[in-house]
Amino acid sequence: MPVGGEKEYYLASACAELYAPPSAYVALYGLTIQQTFLRGVLEKVGVQPEIQRIGRYKSAGDQLGRKSMSNEVKEMLGALLDNIYGNWLDTVSSTHGKKKEEIEEFVNSGVYQVERLKKEGWITDLLYDDQVMTMLKERVGQNDKKSLRMVDYSKYSRVRKSTLGIGGGGDLIAVIRASGSITRTRSGLSVSSSGIIAEQLIKKIRTVRESEKYKAVILRIDSPGGDALASDLMWREIRLLAESKPVVASMSDVAASGGYYMAMAAPVIVAEKLTLTGSIGVITGKFILQKLYERIDFNKEILSRGRYAELNAADQRPLRPDEAELFEKSAQNAYASFRDKAAMSRSMSIDQMETVAQGRVWSGQDAASRGLVDSLGGFSQALAIAKQRAKIPQDKKVRLVEISKASPTLPEILSGIGGSVLGVDRVVKGVLQDVTSLNGVQARMDGILFERLENMPGENQLFLLVKEITNYFG
């Protein structure tokens, strides 16, 4: 391991031995969670966010609507960070046979010297790659000068399914994968069009429901949420599916907000200890561009019929009081529907669900202790439960049938940004529209889209855009 931090060392701790070159840079300083805020920048360019979030902990949209974290969000993120850091300390301490307190004290001393890591037993030895290869040759008894025969990852990962008891003959178990942001239909203009597209996934769910060849279904979810209506439509279809055969929801990294909406339709939910889940809350929003339009000398006029016809169309003026009231009621209604269905799905009272809802994101471990999750574990655990509920003996082989494979979720949405004033208006509206959706209520996990934007290919495009706009307006 020539370079690494907490994440890389965590993965490496699963190995029996760990080597690093003498010049390696391995920094173990601790973990952080950070959030960026654009409200001040938006004000400078004349964009006013009108964001309605329901749930004290629902922070999706805060990057646009606030200038700092709320106390509730600090509480929520602090609890998540405690879980993640605690798990890191537990795992590392168990691999070293040391107390958790010793590991924490070591990290708090500021660790970066590989010599110290070797001395304290964090790495096995300081060796260059060629020295590691020579050592491995000696271990396998290869004395010639030929290169050591290696098996690359692509070949190593081709484990025969039969060796895992999931290949060949036997009963069929369907695997439906739902990965990415949730939308109702595919749109060539939508950032989210390559994630979970409800109309397509519903067709696949119905196909499985109508087939008698599948003995059980595993719904594998990795989603921060998205369109609330799309989430509800899929919830209904999964409920119907569960009436015909056993269904187990298996949560991956994230199954929050709309992702949890889908999962709660299954009679059994399985999550990893650090799965991000919950976030039972909604957000909706629009952007008032009056000042931006004035600055760029852009005019927009609307003719309408109906008291609220301009609620979504009019971005050149603030909301009227009656429009703002309707705006809030719409979000409140969506939240109540989400919360009440979650309560019904998890056999809780409304009051009980309210204590764990409010848009709060939980770790899988905390979600399990609060009744939002039934069992902790990965896909193997979900498979074992599916076999049990389908009355298939655990030692009997089954065949997994992939119905819906995961699709990519992070296209380069900001590529090709132009520098024209009209382009600025178009791009700003396009980016903001996808974050909080001007077209409907969202059940989206807090901050996920922006966190992923910051780590995607072309990660600096958004911030270059902001810089471009602020430079233009002086």
Q: What are the structural domains of the chain?
A: 3-32+79-156 (no CATH), 35-69+162-302+310-474 (3.90.226.10)
Confidence band for 36, pLDDT divided at 50, 70 and 90: confident
If one counts every other C-beta atom within 10 angstroms of the C-beta of residue 474, the result is: 5
Strand partners, 285: 51
Residue 395 has pLDDT above 80, yes or no: yes
Residues 113-129 have a mean pLDDT of: 91
Q: Which pairing describes strands 25-26 and 48-54: parallel, antiparallel, or unpaired?
A: unpaired
Options 179, 190, 223, 257, the catalytic residue: 257
Q: Give the mean pLDDT of the chain.
A: 82
Kind plus residue range of the DSSP H or E element containing 249: strand 247-256
C-alpha–C-alpha distance, residues 400 and 395, integer Å = 15
Residue 352 has pLDDT above 50, yes or no: yes
C-alpha–C-alpha distance, residues 446 and 450, integer Å = 9
> Which of 206-215, 264-273, 434-443 has the lowest average pLDDT?
434-443
C-alpha–C-alpha distance, residues 167 and 180, integer Å = 27
Residues 4-23 have a mean pLDDT of: 91
Sign of CA dihedral 184, 189, 190, 196: positive
* Eight-state DSSP code of residue 376: E
Residue 257 a catalytic site member: yes
Residue 392 has pLDDT above 90, yes or no: yes
Supply the pLDDT for residue 187. 65
User: pLDDT of 263-312, one tens digit each?
Assistant: 999 999 999 999 999 999 888 888 888 898 888 898 888 898 999 888 87
Q: Are 445 and 60 in contact (CB under 8 A)?
A: yes
Share of the chain above pLDDT 70, in %: 81
Q: Are 282 and 58 in contact (CB under 8 A)?
A: yes
Supply the pLDDT for residue 376. 97
Six token digits for residue 121? 């037993």
Residues 165-185 have a mean pLDDT of: 86
Phi, psi of 462, rounded to the nearest 5 degrees: -60, -45
Confidence band for 189, pLDDT divided at 50, 70 and 90: very low
C-alpha–C-alpha distance, residues 320 and 308, integer Å = 10
User: pLDDT of 241-267, one tens digit each?
Assistant: 999 999 999 999 999 999 999 999 999
